[in-house]
Amino acid sequence: MGDGKVAEATILLDAVTKRFGDYVAVEQADFAIARGEFFSMLGPSGCGKTTTLRMIAGFETPTSGRILLEGRDVSDTPPYKRDVNTVFQNYALFPHMSIFDNVAFGLRTAKVPADQVRTRVMDMLDVVRLPDMADRRPNQLSGGQQQRIALARALVNHPAALLLDEPLGALDLKLRQVMQLELKRIQRDVGITFIFVTHDQEEALTMSDRIAVMTQGRVDQIGTPTEIYHTPATPFVAGFIGTANLLPVTVVSQTGDDVTVETRLGGQCTVSSAGTTYAPGSEVTLMVRPERLVPAGAPLHGTGSGASIRAIVTSMVFQGPVVRCQVRTEAGADLVAHLGPEDDPGSFPVGSEMEMTWSHDGAYLVPEPIAADEAGVTSMEDDQTAA
Amino acid sequence: MAAATTDDTGLRRGRFAPYGLLSPGIIWLLLFFLVPVVMLVKASLSTKPSRFADPEFAWDFSNYTSALSEYSPEFLRSFLYAGTATVLAILVGYPLAYWIATCGGRWKNFLIGLVVVPFFTSYLIRTIAWTSILQDDGPVTALYRLLPWVGSDGRILATPLAVIGGLTYNFISFMILPIYVSLEKIDFRLTEAAADLGSTPWRAFRKVVLPLSMPGVFAGSLLVFIPAAGDYLNARYLGSPQTSMIGTVVQNKFLVQFDYPQAAALSLVLMVIITAMVLIYSRFLGTEGLAV
Amino acid sequence: MTNRVSRRNFLVSTAALSGLAVGSTALAACGGSEESGSSTTAAGGAADTLTFDNWTLYIDKPNDDLFGEGGTLAEFQKATGIKVDYTEGINDNNELFAKIQPLLSKGDPIGATIIAPTYWMAGRLLQLDWLDQLPLSEIPNAANLIQSLQNPPNDPTGEYSLPWQSGMAGIAYNQAVTGRELTTMDDMWDPAFRGKIGMLTEMRDTIGLIAMSLGIDLANPDDQDYQPAFAKLEEEVANGQIRQFTGNDYVDDLEQGNYAACIGWSGDVAQLSVSNPDIKFVVPESGGTLWFDTMVIPKGASAEQIQAAGKFMNFVYDPVNAARITETVQYISPVQGVQEELRKMGGEAAALADNPLLFPDASTLARLQTWGTISEEKEQQMDEEFARISGA
């Protein structure tokens, strides 16, 4: 990592590894977070995202590697000497103090004069839109209000970075969506670096400037939401972010930007290489998002002709804006397509055979192989509305 | 009409049901608290026609005036010793409870069990055991005599030090247990939050853990102070004539001199003073804390 | 007076004392046994059970084996067919009084047929008219009562009580600490022993010894002014000479060297000096007190029970039986002929016959005094004064 990058990064993780006994919680985390960035760490539980956050906050010490905060090595600095603040998953508001005292806690610890404390706390309560709650106790507030107070309590200190550990996890869906926008607004207003830990990919996509997708202690990919969604680096990322239909394929040939691959059933199609060079014969994964998968003959979502695949309709579920159509290929892989009203879902009764197709740029090659039994639709949270 | 009546009875039954449920408790309180207190009040206002006769009720308040005029040194000493013992119990018991609650891990229950173990032995035996431990020719006293302000003939037994030490020792479990319970309930992620907001561990303890454990300290203080103030065994076995407490006087009045009216008056004065102190203390500490 | 409790049993007995708060329970238990006793009487038509409430460790075969083969209680049952319901419920005279006062003052029976109060407490019970006459016709052995204890002030006619055991209060000291022999009360006030002198919580013994050292007589207390004795005691408390007032737990303080000297009881020292020859007992030159515990019958017993009680008293006043008790309890026996019986028994028992603590010589006896009866008013006044000085 170049020195220039170090200088402009608020936080830099340099080959950070954390072990608990034999268990490797975080392995070789190596990335920088830029000033003012809304950075998310996304992954399933146990992927190491919270441990990484706790190392940045100072509650855990890296087993090896360095953490730099504003260019200074803070690997062994205790939390109370680090210029970062955390919004905890359970908010961790002090139950014996008023809201005002909670928010003022950090300022008073830093021995800020009382009149300034008052102004800054009240200003911050305005920012989180709870100016009238100063005299209440935390247990008199709703979950969403406590969430805002936790945010205010951290932000009022103007930290170099704000760490948020699944802060919206305890809120119901409606409130969560409101708070997502609210968080984004506040982050824009205060201009502080946010490091946001979540297992909710939609949340990450909605708010983040960049996302680090983690699994089993490793960072699989770091990128903007668009990059991560459209050009996932690994089958895991492809599956974890949104819904993906994944098929194991073998590279046949590459001509410029066009890569010809062959499916297990022998069918061939051409996919964009997205700048990667593939050796013929290498095993890779073909990804088609459900919204790009359409019945043959229907207008393609995208440009250029892709390929088609024959399948039996196994279910057809109306979900409002789209109809979720699940099919099974001859190879036994389950695929999901999101059909719009123009696709006339009524004409495909369950059990009928249909041909699914996608455009040339509707498919993407993930440069890693996938096992045959993992083929098909990946996403466990296929129906986001249910989550 | 009929419906209204039914509703009415239902309502009435509903209204009295809670009292029905409470009645065992109320009967218990009446039988074992209110009745004895009334008897005590009655006895304290009685006189005895002769020494070995039964007391006769007479609205005689002289027992109260003499209780205050003759025994104020013993009262003062009792509160001084009990207060000191309470403070010592906090100073020793709090760190221990804190250590068990935070570092006990899977040994927690075992360690708390150890705190309770002394209770398997009679209170009296434990007190008397100290007379052996602290004997003038024993190693503890020998070490004590090394202190610069203690002479070579210094002793621990038959001094206020021994009495206060005995009180602290005998009642410290009543301090440790409630403090442990209140510490156990604290979400220690709050100290992480405090550290995150710039607090050193000491400040995090002072601003977060300590205030949240105050209900335990409050309960423990009452459980130590009240019995210690009325205790006589520690003064009897570890003290000297100069360290006698009000409990000693009450015991002597009851069992040696059969002066039940005077003993009852002394007991009631003790009760009233302690109640007043508890109220002041709870106001000072915030009774709200008790409900947490 | 807890002096009957031997040292090795001290902890056990004081543990029982801590159960003082549940005195009423003990009382209920007494009542229970009394009830069963009377029902037996009604059914059998004969008094085949007798209840005797005594001090701890105050008979042969004590505690664990009260009815052991060859013991007094077993022998008595063999001889008369009467089973003695023997309990060790007495720890303290005042505590005993507090227990029985509410019952006897209302004319209710207390459960036990015979109890063993110390002489002055027996005198108080007699003055309160709470005692029945002894069935002296059943007790021809009463004639064996030693001369010095006949017609004592607490029972001038001798019709209401018989002594059970007797002993002396004098100076007990640890020669390893004092470094010299003590002979007078003034030795106790030696400034070298400051803070190492113990007094008994028993007012009659403590004040008695001090009064005698000041030349004040104990035989007719109502004619005497004991204020000088109290003043002396107060002075020695105030200047720190006196460390503590204790019951018989003084033996621990004495043995551990916390005390150089204290007022103590002959029986304790007799047992203690066996293992620790430094522990000495002396009747001061100015005099010591002679005390004795008595067998009395509180009112409320049936005629059959009184008769049975008489048979028991007669039995223990037989020198053979009395010597067996003395061999164990090692106090001064009130029964004539015990010394001879001990000699006949040989061995360790014969050695006891020559122990001056059990059989004081004439010059020691001459220095002993027993308190006369103190009037109710004066006793209250003295108790209060003593409590004030001793910090109780």
CATH number where B104 lies? 1.10.3720.10
Band of residue C9 on the pLDDT scale cut at 50, 70, 90 = very low
Q: CA separation (Å) from C39 to A37, C36, C47? A: 97, 5, 10
Note whether A154 contacts B197, CB cutoff 8 Å: yes
**CB burial of residue C127 (10 Å; 0-12, 13-18, 19+):** middle
- Are B199 and A80 in contact (CB < 8 Å)? yes
User: In the structure, what pLDDT confidence band is assigned to residue C45 with cuts at 50, 70 and 90?
Assistant: very low
| Side-chain half-sphere CA neighbours of A215 within 13 A | 11
List helix spans (H) across C214-292: 227-238, 250-256, 266-275
Q: Which residues pair with A339 in a beta bridge?
A: A323
Q: Measure CB to CB from residue B241 to each of C20, C256, C390 and give the nearest one.
A: C390
Q: Report the alpha-carbon distance of residue C325 to residue C166 in Å, rounded.
A: 12
What's the topology of domain C167-290+368-390? Answer: D-Maltodextrin-Binding Protein; domain 2 (3.40.190)
For residues B239-259, give the mean pLDDT.
91
- Choose the mutation target among C243, C378, C381 for the interface with B, i.e. most B CBs under 10 Å: C243
Which pLDDT score, from 0 to 100, does residue B1 have?
A: 42
Q: What is the DSSP letter of C5?
A: S
Cβ-nearest to B197 among A78, A85, A95: A85
State whether residue A361 is helix, strand or coil.
helix
- 8 A C-beta contact, residue C237 and residue C389: yes
CA C367 – CA C356 distance, rounded (Å)? 14
Instruction: Indicate the DSSP class of residue A157.
Output: T
Measured at the alpha carbon of residue A129, what is the angle toward residues A128 and A132, in degrees to the nearest 5?
120
**Regarding the domain delimited by C7-166+292-358, which CATH topology (the fold level of the hierarchy) does it fall under?**
D-Maltodextrin-Binding Protein; domain 2 (3.40.190)
Lowest mean pLDDT among A368-377, B2-11, B156-165: B2-11
Q: Check whether C25 has a pLDDT greater than 50.
A: no
Q: For an interface test with B, which of A51, A54, A81, A105 has the most B Cβ atoms less than 10 Å from its Cβ?
A: A105
Rounded to 10 degrees, what is the CA torsion of C378, C383, C384, C385? 90
Burial degree of B134 (CB within 10 A; 0-12, 13-18, 19+): buried
Chain C residue numbers with beta carbons less than 8 Å from the beta carbon of B137 are 256-258
pLDDT at residue B178 greater than cutoff 60 = yes
Q: What number is the average pLDDT over the span C204-217?
A: 96
b (16+ CB within 10 A) / e for B50-84: eebeebeeeebeebbeebeeebeebbebbbebbbb
Going by pLDDT thresholds of 50, 70 and 90, the confidence category of residue C126 is very high
Contacts with B237 from chain C: Cβ below 8 Å? 249
CA dihedral over A333, A336, A341, A342, signed as positive or negative = negative
3-state class (DSSP) for residue A352: coil
pLDDT of residue C300: 92
Burial of B242 by CB count in 10 Å (0-12 exposed, 13-18 middle, 19+ buried)?
middle
What is the ipTM for the molecules in this complex? 0.82
Shortest Cα distance, chain C CAs vs residue B177, angstroms:
25
DSSP per-residue string spanning A214-257: EETTEEEEEE-HHHHHHS-SSHHHHHHSS--EEEEEEEEEEETT
- Inter-chain contact B198–A94, Cβ cutoff 8 Å? no
Q: Which residues lie below 8 Å from residue C195, measured CB to CB, with a gap of 6+?
A: B153, B155, B158, C240, C241, C243
Are C335 and C322 in contact by the 8 Å Cβ rule? The answer is: yes
Looking at residues B163-186, what average pLDDT do you find? 95
In chain B, residues 15-54 whose CB comes closer than 8 Å to chain C: 50-54
Q: Average of pLDDT values for B129-141? A: 91
Can chain A be said to touch chain C, i.e. do they have 3 or more Cβ pairs within 8 angstroms?
no
Tell which CATH classification among 3.90.550.10, 3.90.79.10, 2.30.130.10, 3.40.50.300 matches the domain A3-230.
Answer: 3.40.50.300
pLDDT value at residue A234: 92
Distances (CA, A) of B167 to A187, B91, B245: 59, 14, 12
> Is 70 exceeded by the pLDDT of residue B64?
yes
- The tens-digit pLDDT sequence of chain A (387 residues) is 444 444 478 999 999 999 999 999 999 999 999 999 999 999 999 899 999 999 999 999 999 999 999 999 999 999 999 999 999 999 999 999 999 999 999 999 999 999 999 999 999 999 888 999 999 999 999 988 999 999 999 999 999 999 999 998 888 888 888 889 989 999 998 889 999 999 999 899 999 999 999 999 999 999 999 999 999 999 999 989 888 899 888 999 888 888 888 887 777 888 888 888 888 988 999 999 988 888 876 666 655 566 778 888 998 888 888 888 888 888 788 889 888 877 777 778 888 888 888 887 788 999 888 887 778 887 544 443 333
B184 to A89, A223, B202, C248: CA distances (angstroms): 21, 44, 19, 46
pLDDT of residue A154: 95
Q: Please state the domain extents for chain A.
A: 3-230, 243-378
Whole-number Å distance between alpha carbons of A366 and A287 = 7
Q: Alpha helices of chain A — where are they, by DSSP H?
A: 3-8, 49-57, 99-109, 114-127, 143-155, 173-190, 201-207, 225-230, 235-240
Least confident of A209-223, B97-111, B177-191, C40-54: C40-54
User: Region C46-57: what's the mean pLDDT?
Assistant: 81
Task: Assess A159–B contact: CB distance below 8 Å, yes or no.
Answer: no
Q: State chain B's mean pLDDT as an integer.
A: 88
Mean pLDDT of B244-269: 91
pLDDT grade, residue C63 (50/70/90)?
low
CATH number of A243-378: 2.40.50.100
Q: Are C233 and C185 in contact (CB under 8 A)?
A: no
**Chain-centre distance of CA A121, in angstroms?**
32
What DSSP state is assigned to residue C82?
A: P
Mean pLDDT of the C170-190 span: 95
Whether A3-230 shares its CATH topology with A243-378 is answered: no
Query: What is the pLDDT, as a whole number, of residue A192?
Result: 92
B248 contacts in chain C (CB < 8 Å): 391-392
| pLDDT for position A275 | 82
Residue C105 vs residue B5, higher pLDDT: C105
All structural domains of chain C with their residue ranges: 7-166+292-358, 167-290+368-390
Identify the CA nearest to A250 among candidates A229, A267, A237.
Answer: A267
3-state secondary structure of C325: helix
DSSP letter for A9, please: E
**Under 8 Å between Cβ of B183 and B99:** no
Q: Looking at chain B, which subunits does it touch, using at least 3 CB pairs closer than 8 Å as the criterion?
A: A, C
In angstroms, the separation between the Cα of residue A102 and the nearest Cα of chain B is 10
CB contacts of B195 in chain A (<8 Å) are: 58-59, 78-80
In sequence order, what are the residues at sequence separation of 6 or more whose Cβ sits closer than 8 angstroms to the Cβ of residue C296? C114, C115, C116, C117, C122, C125, C126, C131, C160, C161
Q: Does B70 touch chain A (CB under 8 A)?
A: no
Say if residue B104's pLDDT is above 50: yes
Does chain A touch chain B (at least 3 C-beta pairs within 8 Å)? yes
For C272-307, how does the pLDDT look when each residue is reduced to its tens digit (9 = 90+)?
Answer: 888 899 999 999 999 999 999 999 999 999 999 999
Among residues C239, C278, C286, C283, which one has the least CA distance to residue C264?
C283
Question: Which residue of chain B is at minimal alpha-carbon distance from C243?
Answer: B240
Has residue C1 got a pLDDT over 60?
Answer: no
| Minimum mean pLDDT range among B14-28, B112-126, C192-206, C229-243 | B14-28
What's residue C15's pLDDT? 39
| Contact residues on chain B for C124, CB-CB shorter than 8 A | 52
SS3 A349: coil
Of A290, A304, A303, A302, nearest in space to A356 by CA:
A290
Joined together, the tokens standing for residue C323 give 């010597």
Q: Report chain B residues whose CB lies below 8 A from the CB of A88.
A: 189, 192-193
pLDDT recorded at residue B231? 94
Q: Is C204 on the interface with B (CB under 8 A)?
A: no
Query: What pLDDT, on a 0 to 100 scale, did the predictor assign at position B110?
Result: 94
The DSSP code sequence of chain B is -HHHHHHHHHHHHHHHHHHHHHHHHHHHHIIIIIHHHHHHHHHHTEE-SSTTSPPEE---THHHHHHHHHHHHHHHHHHHHHHHHHHHHHHHHHHHHHHHHHH-GGGHHHHHHHHHGGGGS-HHHHHHHHHHHT-TTSHHHHHHTTSTTS-TT--STTSHHHHHHHHHHHHHHHHHHHHHHHHHHS-THHHHHHHHTT--HHHHIIIIIHHHHHHHHHHHHHHHHHHHHT--HHHHHH--GGG--HHHHHHHHHHTS--HHHHHHHHHHHHHHHHHHHHHHHHHH-THHHH-
Burial C312-345 (b: 16+ CB within 10 A, else e): bbbbbbbbebbbbbbbbbbbbbbbbbbbebbeeb
Residue B212: domain span: 70-291
AA identity, residue C206: T
Does B25 fall in a domain?
A: no
Answer whether B190 touches A (CB < 8 Å). Answer: yes
- Set of chain C residues whose Cβ sits within 8 Å of the Cβ of B253: 387
pLDDT of residue A305: 60
